[in-house]
Copies of this chain bind each other. A is one copy, B any other.
Amino acid sequence: MSDLEPIKERFKFYQNRVEQAMDSWIPKIKTHPTKLHEAMRYAVLGGGKRLRPILCYATGEALNIPLKQLDGIASALELIHSYSLVHDDLPAMDDDDLRRGKPSCHIEFDEATAILAGDALQALAFYIVTHDKQMQVTAETKLKMIEFLANACGSRGMAGGQAIDLESVGQTLSLMQLEDMHIHKTGALIRASIVLAAMSAKKLNEQQANQLDHFGKCIGLAFQIRDDILDEEGETEKLGKIQGGDRARNKPTYPALVGLVTAKQRANGLYEDAIQSLQNFGDKATLLRDIAAYIIQRDQ
Q: Residues of A with Cβ closer than 8 Å to B?
A: 27, 31-33, 35-37, 40, 83-84, 87, 90, 92-93, 110-113, 115-116, 118-120, 122-124, 126-127, 130-131, 138-140, 142-144, 146-147, 150-151, 153-157, 159-160, 162-164, 166-167, 184
Contact check: which of B31, B142, B156 meets A27 at CB < 8 Å?
B156
A37 to B120 alpha-carbon distance, docked (Å):
22
- Indicate if the CB atoms of A160 and B87 lie closer than 8 Å: no
A37 partner, pick from B92, B140, B155, beta carbons under 8 A: B155
Candidates B37, B111, B162; contact of A116 at CB < 8 Å = B162
A93 → B minimal CB distance (Å): 5
Which residues of chain B come closer than 8 Å to A124, judged between CB atoms? 150, 154-155
Q: A127-B154, A143-B139 are in contact. Are A159 and B119 (CB under 8 A)?
A: yes
Q: In the assembled complex, how far is the CB of residue A158 from the closest CB belonging to chain B, in whole angstroms? A: 8
Contacts A35-B167, A126-B150, A130-B147 known; 14 new A-B pairs at CB < 8 A: A33-B155, A33-B160, A33-B184, A37-B155, A92-B111, A116-B166, A120-B159, A123-B150, A124-B150, A127-B146, A130-B144, A139-B140, A139-B143, A146-B146
Of B87, B90, B113, B154, which one neighbours A163 at CB under 8 angstroms?
A: B113
Q: Which residues of B are found within 8 Å of A131, using beta-carbon distances? A: 147
Residue from A92, A155, A162 with most neighbouring chain B CB atoms (10 Å):
A155
Give this chain's copy count: 2
Q: How far is the CB of A189 from chain B (nearest CB, A)?
A: 11
Distance A111 CA – B91 CA, assembled complex (angstroms): 9
Closest to A80 in B: B123
Contacting residues, chain B, for A122 (C-beta < 8 A): 119, 122-123
Whole-angstrom CA separation of A118 from B122 in the bound complex: 11
Q: How far is the CA of A232 from the CA of B158 in the complex (A)?
A: 41
Contacts of A112 in B (CB 8 A): 90, 92-93, 166
**Who on chain B is nearest to A106 by CB?**
B92
With a 10 A CB-CB cut-off, give which of A32, A35, A40, A120 has the most chain B CB atoms: A120
- A110 near B92 with CB under 8 A, answer yes
Residue of B nearest to A145 (CB): B130
Contacts of A184 in B (CB 8 A): 33
- How far apart are the CA atoms of A138 and B139 in the complex, in Å? 9
CB-CB nearest 8 A-B residue pairs: A92-B111, A123-B154, A139-B139, A127-B150, A120-B155, A130-B147, A36-B163, A120-B159
Taking CB atoms, residues of chain B closer than 8 Å to A111 are 92
**Residues on B with beta carbons closer than 8 Å to the beta carbon of A37:** 155
Which residue from chain B places its CB closest to the CB of A92 in the assembled complex? B111
11 contacts between A and B (CB under 8 A): A35-B167, A36-B155, A90-B115, A116-B163, A123-B153, A123-B154, A123-B159, A126-B126, A127-B147, A139-B143, A143-B143
